[in-house]
Structure 1
Amino acid sequence: MRNTFFKSLGYITFSTSLVLAGFAHSAPSFQSAQPLSAGAWPNHSQDLCAVANETLKYLKQGPSYDPQAIHGGTVDGIKVPTHRIQDTLAFICQVYQEDLATGASRLTDPDFINSAFERVQWLPDQAKAKSLSQDKPLLQRLPSDQLLLTKYYVRMADGFPAKTAQSPHALYGLPFDEAHLSLEEADARRDQITRYRFGKQAILRGALETQPALAPPLIWLSRADLEGALLQGTAVLEADNQRRYFNVHRNNGIAYDRTQKPEDQERYWYFKEVPGVLGYGKDADYKIPVKPKVTVAGDIFQLGLGRVVLLQTTEHGQPTYRLTVLADTGGAFHDNLYQLDWLSGYFRDWDHYHANNRHIADYAKTWLLLKKE
C-alpha cells in the first residue's frame, strides 16, 4: 500500500447496470461507452494475470475479512455484485492462459475487449477536484471526460546497517511494544502503545532513539530516500545482485493531509521486510503482490477492490491503452473519484522516473470493465 504524492500538483512528489444517466459532469459519474478508437496496446498480459489472480485470492477472504475493501462499490448509490468483480478477474487469467497456446493476446485486442466486457466510462468528480485545486494546475485543468493520472513507482534506495552522517534516518519496524500483537489487539490498546504517540516530525527529531530504543531500525536512509519510501510505501535496496523489499506495515493513525507538502506531514508509516512489491492489504501479514504497468491505486473504499480498469493515455502523442487492476490505495484516495495512480516501474529518484515517464500524459480516459454475463 502506498501514500500518494504529486510533484505535478505543486508538491514534491493508484455492466451496463452501472450507467448513471442525467448526472452533471461536475460530479463523478459513469456513462455508456462508445467503441474504442485506434491506438497502441502494450502487452503485459502475464503480469496482468498475476495481479488479477493475487487480487482474486484476497477478495475470496470475503467481506467480513475486510469490509472496507471487499465489496462491489457504492458509486452514486449504484452497487455491483461482488461476484462480478471476482468473475472478471478470473476471466482475465482464463483468457491469458488460453492465449498461450496461440501466441496472440486477446487482452490487447480492442475488438475482443469490446465484445467480451461491459464497459462504462468514468467521468471525474470535478467538484471535489476544484475544491482542492488551489496552486495545483493539473487539477485546475482537469478535463470533463478524463481522470488525473498520476504515477507512482518502486523506490530504489541506498540503505546502510548503521546510522551515518549521510544516512541519519531509520526506516523503522513495528515498535517493540506491539511486535507480538495482531492489528486488532494493537488498536484495542491505542492509548497505550508507541505507534500512536508520535507524529512524523517528532520521529525525525529522534523520538524513537531512546535507550532502550522504542522500535527496531531496519535500515538507515538519507532524508530523500526516507521521504521516498514513506510516500511510495515501498523501498527496495539492491546489493550484490540481490534485492531487499520493505513495505509499509502500520501507521500512526494520523490522516494524510492533502493540503500539506509530503515532507511536512505528520502521518508516519512503520515498515516490514517482505519478499516483493506489495499493494493493498489491511495489514502487512497479507497484502496483494503487485507489478508495474498493470496496477493502479485509487478509491477502493467507494469503487471496491479489484476493479479492472482500462486506461487510454496519450504517449508520444499517440493513444495508448492499458488494462490494469485496482489493487492498491493510499491516504489521498479517501473520497477521491477524480484520480488514479499508475504503478510505473522501478526508479532511483524523480529524475530517473521523469526520464522514463515524461512522454505519458497527465490525464487518461478511463473505463471500468466487467465480464459480460
Structure 2
Amino acid sequence: MTDVPGLRVGHATLRGDGALSGVTVVLGPARGAVAGVDVRGAAPGTRETDLLHPSRMVQRVHALVLSGGSAYGLAAADGVLRGLEADGVGFGLGTPGRVVPIVPAAVVFDLGRGGEFTARPDAATGLRAYRAAAGPGGDGPVACGVVGAGTGAVVGGLKGGIGTASAVLADGATVGALVVLNAAGSSVDPETGELYGARYRLPSDAAGAAPRMPAAAELAAARAAGVLRTELDGPLRATTLAVIGTDLTLTKAQCGLLAGMGADGLARAVRPVHTMLDGDLTFALCTEARPAPELPEAHQLLATAADCVSRAIVHAALAATGVRTPAGYWPSYAEVFPSAVPGAATTGSADRPG
C-alpha cells in the first residue's frame, strides 16, 4: 500500500489479557485525499462514509480507519481525529488552529475472540495507530498478518489478517491495496485446498512463498478438522475491508468506481462473499501526485486494482499465523497446508499447538 507515494499506514495491536483485536490507519497527504467507497455486505459498521458520495460538499478525507471491535470499534476514529487536530490537519474553518479532520471508518467483527467480549479498540487505540502511521516508518513496508485491524480476523475456519499488494501501471502510475481478511466465507477452495486468489499473484510478489497444490493427506485432514467450512457461522461474525490507493488524480465519482472494482477483486478470492453476515466494504483514495488518466490508463487502473485486492487477500492468508486464546484456536493456512507453502513446516507459530 505504501508503494503509492504519499500514503502511510500504521497499526495498533491489542493482544493478550483477553484481547485479540486492533486498529489500522491509512493516511494521505496533509491536504487530504479524494476518496470514494463501495459497500457490498449486508451488515456494515461505518462512520462518515456518506461524505464520500460525489454529491457531498467535502472533497477530501484526512485519514481512513479500519478497526476491530464491531460497532464499538468505531470509537477508534475519535483518537485519530484528536491526533490529526493536534497536528493541525483537517478541514479548515477559516480560523488558524481550527480544523475538523474528515475520518471515515469501518469495522470488522472480532468481538470475544481473545476471550473477553469487552477487550476491544477505543480512542486510545486509534490514536496509537495514527501516531504509528504519522511517525517514522509510516511510509515503509506494511506489517502483514496478525496485526492491527487484522489481529482478530478469521476467514472460514482459518486465521485471517492484514495483506497488501501493489502494481505499477504502464505509464508509471502506482496502485496499491490493503485488506483486512475477516470473512464469513473462505479464501480456500474446499475441493483442492488452493487459495482462490493465488492465480492473480505476480512473479515479483514477496509476501509469502508462492503457494503450491496442497498434499492430498493435508486436504483430507483439513476437511476432517472442519477448517475448510463454508457454512455460515452465526450473525454479524465477519466483514472484509479493503483500501485501494493510487497516485493518479481522480474525482470522487471515479474513486467510487475504483472502490467497486476492489469489491470485484474480493469476490474472486473469497467464497461466498458479500453475505448477510458480512459488512464488506472497499475504500479508494488518490493522492493526486500524477495527472488524471486518459481512458486507456483508467481502464488499466481499474483492472489492476481488482487484481491487487485479490493478491492482498492471498498475502493476508499466507502472512497469518495460528492463534490460540481462551475463545478457541484458529490455525493458519500455512499450518494446515505446509506442503503448499514452502518453508511453512519449519516456520510454525508461537501459538501452534504442541
Scaled by the length of structure 2, the TM-score of the pair is 0.23
Highest CA radius of gyration, 1 or 2?
A: 1
Instruction: Kindly indicate which of the two structures has a greater share of residues assigned to strand.
Output: 1
Q: Which has the higher contact order (CA 8 A, sep 6+)?
A: 1
